[in-house]
């Protein structure tokens, strides 16, 4: 299990994309895992939209959700680099979007959610 988490972490630290703030991306999950103390569970793969925007305080933000979520993830203060890469984390969520690849991890009370998806500009 440590190797899986290490592999996902390395994916989160590498990669690139091409788009602009305000674009909407259509994404298809290629991997979706729920990790608990005792197991790594493969979850249903979803298709979802991800939007980027600039909030009132001039920070970039990403918003996205998929089938089993009642409230969308909203990550503010996302770093947007000139190469149109997004990297951000808040409240136990980490997201990286580069080269059309979406990497996400969320630390919840009793499990960790890991997602890898391929995205295109909508």
Q: Indicate the domain borders of the chain.
A: 2-121
CA atoms lying within 13 Å on the CB side of residue 34: 10
Q: What fold is seen in the domain 2-121?
A: Lipocalin (2.40.128)
Q: What is the pLDDT at residue 82?
A: 43
Q: Tell the burial category of 51 from Cβ atoms under 10 Å away from its Cβ (0-12, 13-18, 19+).
A: middle
Task: Single out the residue of 96, 110, 114 nearest to residue 50, CA to CA.
Answer: 96
Whole-angstrom Cα distance, residue 15 to residue 17? 8
Q: What is the pLDDT along the chain (122 residues), one digit of tens a residue?
A: 655 554 445 444 433 334 555 678 899 999 999 999 999 999 999 998 887 776 555 556 777 888 767 667 776 666 655 445 566 666 678 888 888 898 999 888 899 999 999 998 86
Q: What is the pLDDT at residue 10?
A: 41
């Amino acid at each position: 299990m440590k190797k899986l988490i290490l592999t996902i972490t390395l994916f989160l630290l590498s990669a690139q994309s091409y788009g602009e703030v305000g674009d909407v991306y259509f994404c298809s999950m290629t991997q979706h895992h729920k990790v608990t103390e005792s197991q790594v569970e493969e979850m249903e793969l979803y298709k979802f939209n991800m939007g980027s925007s600039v909030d009132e305080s001039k920070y970039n933000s990403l918003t996205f959700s998929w089938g089993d979520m009642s409230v969308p993830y909203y990550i503010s203060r996302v770093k947007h680099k000139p190469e149109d890469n997004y990297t951000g984390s808040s409240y136990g969520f980490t997201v990286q979007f580069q080269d059309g690849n979406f990497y996400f991890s969320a630390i919840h009370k009793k499990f960790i959610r890991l997602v890898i998806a391929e995205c295109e500009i909508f």
